[in-house]
């Protein structure tokens, strides 16, 4: 099974490009983030025509997450238990940042972790709370994958110049500790040779290879036992109309899965 995660930065803008990627990459399950549309505006027809079922959570033009699967889509969940809500002022609302489904015997989550904005901003605390509560989702004995844009660079080598990020989010000790806490619940990060998955549109970051690794596939031990290889499709970050993220893809041998055990 090939599982990919990709912050597509507007699914309606890039629907045809995403469809071409699915075909070219022979992808079984695609987790998408920042779809930036409400459920009724999602381009389902593009995916259905290629043989994919879609679970999408989107309330407006912000955030948005989806799972497209050609190996089944069962037990769809539009949020995780105790998922936090946020509002800088007024009544907090639960944002479109998590969707889960069982795909071909694997419990898959597509996640868009809050950015954090600035250290000390309420959004930073919201980010940490989101990660702490996400830990309750992990089922170490199940075949499970948590995929998405985590908005954290866990190690100094995951950014092009750590000194550039001094005093900024994504590299702070509390964020990294929260990411490590997730791993300690029973997850491992799939490994690939490519150092980055995100290059900002500003300052020609992609052309200068000034990137960050903030997009991850995290697998429980039973799924990781079948891990074969992983890579970042850097070419998808190039050319006209590209997202500022590239897809991260992992291949697993799932032929021995007990599908009924995860339904």
pLDDT digits (tens, 9 = 90+) for 174-219: 999 999 999 999 999 999 999 999 999 999 999 999 999 999 999 9
The verdict on whether 126 is a catalytic residue reads no
Catalytic residue among 56, 143, 170, 245: 245
CA distance 258 to 4: 22
* Inter-residue contact 34 to 10 (CB < 8 Å): yes
CA distance 98 to 82: 12
Catalytic residue among 28, 53, 149, 215: 149
Nearest alpha-carbon partner for 100 in 52, 44, 146: 146
Place of tokens 């990660």: 131
SS3 65: strand
pLDDT tens per residue across span 231-252: 999 999 999 999 999 999 999 9
Return the CATH class of domain 2-252: alpha beta
| pLDDT of 256 strictly over 80 | no
Place of tokens 């994919």: 52
Residues placed in the known binding site for Mg(2+): 7, 34, 149, 151, 244-245
Residues placed in the known binding site: 7, 34, 149, 151, 244-245
pLDDT number for residue 119: 96
Catalytic residue among 28, 56, 112, 215: 112
Half-sphere exposure of 29 (CA within 13 A, CB side): 31
pTM: 0.96
pLDDT tens per residue across span 142-170: 999 999 999 999 999 999 999 999 999 99
């Amino acid at each position: 099974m090939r599982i990919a995660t990709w912050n597509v930065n507007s699914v309606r803008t890039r629907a045809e490009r995403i469809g071409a990627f699915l075909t070219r990459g022979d992808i079984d399950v695609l987790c998408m983030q920042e779809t930036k549309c409400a459920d009724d505006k999602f381009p389902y027809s593009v995916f259905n025509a290629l043989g994919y079922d879609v679970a999408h959570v989107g309330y407006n033009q912000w955030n948005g997450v989806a799972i497209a699967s050609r190996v089944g889509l069962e037990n769809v969940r539009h949020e995780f238990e105790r998922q936090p809500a946020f509002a800088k002022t007024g009544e907090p609302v639960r944002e479109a940042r998590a969707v889960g489904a069982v795909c071909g015997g694997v419990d898959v989550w597509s996640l868009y972790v809050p950015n954090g904005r600035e250290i000390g901003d309420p959004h930073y605390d919201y980010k940490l709370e989101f990660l702490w509560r996400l830990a309750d989702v992990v089922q170490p004995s199940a075949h499970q994958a948590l995929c998405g844009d985590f908005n954290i660079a866990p190690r100094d080598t995951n950014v092009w110049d750590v000194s550039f990020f001094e005093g900024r989010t994504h590299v702070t000790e509390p964020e990294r500790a929260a990411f490590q806490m997730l791993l300690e619940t029973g997850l491992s990060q799939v490994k690939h040779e490519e150092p980055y998955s995100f290059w900002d549109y500003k300052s020609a970051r992609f052309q200068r290879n000034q990137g960050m690794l903030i997009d991850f596939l995290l697998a429980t031990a039973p799924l990781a036992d079948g891990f074969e290889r992983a890579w970042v499709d850097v070419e998808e970050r190039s050319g006209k109309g590209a997202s500022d993220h590239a897809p991260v893809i992992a291949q697993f041998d799932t032929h021995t899965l007990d599908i009924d055990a995860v339904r």
